[in-house]
Structure 1
């Protein structure tokens, strides 16, 4: 319909747009779900790594504690045997009594055996271990027999004991005489099953595995599966090669027993051929990953079903709406009176051809324009339509002009339609009828009547005008003076009110920028930082892009902070002194002009929103801005101090001064605005300037008694 807003798209176009929208939404949801699953899986792997590293440390501490206890005993026995006479040192009875007498405190944890220089077991804390057996072929005896072996602790490989079939490993020390001659080896037989039992109690879950291995590659103790894996090789064949460069680390490997992928952490014991390894099977987090995927797929299927059902319902509803719209527009176009649809902003949303013909405008000129030229007079004076006007207003006549400038008279009827939840009319419907011909006839009759009245009253009016002229001339001057005074007072009050409103708006806008945009940028930076950290090793290209985004976000945050400080510096909350000090430093930083500040306001305390403090701060801002733009100064002095009963602010520069022609410019409102703002607060502003001699701006404000009293 000519003169109306574009009609609804057809059903096919609507279906295409709806399908495209649902497709985009589905892709976004699927992408978000995939990212969530990926992030959850990465988090579970991070937790597994932390658990293995923590358990490795605990196992290492327990193993070191156990070995240190045994080593202390071995060292004590070695020194005791060293102190014996040579005749007693070779006596199995004497040495056996020594070992048996001191073995009660540790026999539950390990057993001690003394082997003489020929490799024969001479004595033990448990007599069962001594059958004059030869240990000359054992690795620990061969090690200590060498001259360069030293007196250090030797940790042997795991073996199955011939005496009782236990799974053990040996700790040993070289025993020398007082003269330094090799006399034998003192050996502690450690029960590996005890370590395996402790490891089993330390496991955090059924999927965790704890291993103590000899650096030769054989497993000493493992939980679980101790019996099956004792003295077997470790799963990570390159683990001992790694310890040469990194005594601790983490990795992923396949288990030898169950074939599962395992996440492991290891640590080599310092100065010992031992290695602690803790691993966790991936089954636990793989099951969680599969569960997340199943839940996500179920959610996608449910969302697709809901979108399909909702889309079908929307298409059917749209088809009904399209049919209703077509019927409405046919009726709308056939009316001979003008019909106008007015939105909640009092702008014309739609109109029919009859209305365009009445007012003489084209559709592109009228659609979206303000309805004010055709609205009731009370709306024009009141500023906006009122709900009570819509309820009481029946119809009205309006004098208007066509596009050609011709005057026309319209009879207009308004109906409120499309009410909001609160009962307010969101839109209106106007029925417009051209009554220009009837109105012209009425005006002609009224004009003839008025002409007769004028001729009757002209003679009387001449005398009245003469008398009134004399009275007017006498009182005119007084009235003019009084009106000027009142106008000046009103303008000053208006100026002060506008400044207060401006400060309130600056504070509100700064707060909203900080609360909304600042928090959004911070949340965005946190998200991008997390992505930046997580893609450092796996996605270098995305990592670099994330770094660029972080720099852009940081720049945006700095811009937001700058905008907030320009609107309302945060230092205003700390008081006038702090705000002035910040402003001077900021001006010096930005402009490069050297500044000197003197503050002496002892005994004066302004409220945060005190108009006087705000006025002084804004005048300082305006003065510094003028200096930066026009003064060409190299130094600025700012002073704020108390002089008697007045507070004085003085800004001095060494620039070119204010040119005589500058104050006469019609748009030179800066100095005028400062002067009016101070006058509205009962203060005074003085400007001293000479060409080439700089400018001095001085502001005086009376100090209110309550400010001094509150400070006291």
Structure 2
């Protein structure tokens, strides 16, 4: 059922399958996520390598173009004019040539020529002011070190605009190697920074240009362009170039900003620089994380659906097993109900042939089940008559009418004359049962019960109504008390004729012995309850007083208003005379009651003995037989189970039935006489409390004081049965959460108290119900000279107190 917890059998079975599938599924998801992680990293590695290759090609081209420009200009300059301080040179031609070279190189900001002293000779910049580079390190290197044809300066900030650049310088020498001057080009680092900014790198990506010899920063993007020539020889990219070659891809956390990136690096042609493109791990894993989140969400939803599916499967299988068990139980229960129901039940097929009948039908019809099966209602050995005592036709039987018409026949009373049983009147109901075709009945069920007593009672009521008119005086008045009618017996009792009293009021009969308060109470009772009855003295017409038992009933109309009063007069003169004799008889009755109670106690003792004997016989004999039968079934399965698997299934089914029978035998034996009684009263009550708590989940606590109370078996059984009946009442009616039992020995009395915190009950209402549970407790205690006191009221729980003498001489019952 929904909301009902699954048993461990289904939890283990389906839980293991779910866990195995979940582990396999999660392993596949993990493997897929790991593979996609590697793919993302490989894509980042490839992208970094491709980007740095493109960037290195562009930088190498720019640097080579700048180098070509100054080399070409070196060839344009004649050494003699330079030595002669431009005596015969054409400055205009050289300036135009410098500007022409500059137009083809975007990243070069200026081309200049300096003489051997470091003074500016020619410049591509218009109105370039005169300055000297004699103090510059790159000039001295180009002058003093012939082996270095091209020299690169550190990053230099412009004096006017603070624009950073690096200078490429080449020495000019004559054929003899004499130093004549230096040709320079200024590479604008801001232009390179702009080129770097156009590369799509993602979050925290970077492009860096550094020197190979010391790792000094040239250009870094993102970040400002500045003249920071601090050496950084331990940067991992420089180590990779020195160790693994001029190009490659590595991943590490930047020691500058701490961001982990995949770097593609390459040296810039033959120049002393290397460039690196870094793609951050966060960037190249961003899409992977989104996909992983989606995958994990989908996996979670899948596992939730899978769990719900397995839960539904487990519940479905559990429900199917419970349904099968319930179906078998229902079949057995219906069979038991069918056999135990007090009404006769007969099932007939579409032809009217009897296919099943219960024991009540056998008893009502006087035929056995074997005699009934296969016959029809018109072919059996009985005669059916209607209420008018005429024979009933075969097609008029209620079952045949229901089959023919498809309509139910209800409460038809028929007389059945069976051999040896005489006439018995039955109330019969026949109901058609429809199969697939809802228009034609394919069977019919007939119920019957004996109404012979009711028919007799109806006859007796008619007779009693007639007799009532002749045995008791009757008077009918209107709502105002005016007499409308009296019967003949009334005139006999009062001496007045009908003509004398009609039109009068009952005051005519007043004796004068009753005061006004008596009549006020009488009429108040009539107004409150609708009637009154009691003894009253009337005055006969001849003046004599006579006792009468008067019953007054108010008759109401459809609106509930009183329309008439009916008074019944019974002369009780003889009864009054008999009351004296009745008092004498009471003493004899009291003695009879004592004898009956003693006889009941003796019967109870004998019944307990029979219960004890039957319990032992059932447990010892039938229990052993069932145990032996179960062992034989196990032997049967071992011998023949391998030959036919169906034998194992059938043996298992039979063993289940035997186990149920063994449990039933045990329950029957325990219910007849609990074995704990043989260990003493206190252990028996302790067992009773434990069993009560197990069945009801209601706490039951026994306070016995001494562990052992010496009682004869008769008194122990009485106390045990009283406790048992008390706990049964608590379970059925009290709605309690706690029960306390106190058992104590006080001098020659054994006292028992059973207290619960339940809903309690109205003792007056319980007394009117005439229930036998509380009465049985009192009778058991009275039989041993004890008493039972019950204290209870709605809402305050119930206390049952019992006191029984322990000595062998029981006290006599108090009248």
Whether these two folds match at TM > 0.5 is no
After TM superposition, the score normalised by the length of structure 1 is 0.42
Bigger helix share? 1
Greater radius of gyration (CA): 2
The structure showing larger relative contact order (alpha-carbon pairs under 8 Å, at least 6 residues apart) is 1
After TM superposition, the score normalised by the length of structure 2 is 0.37
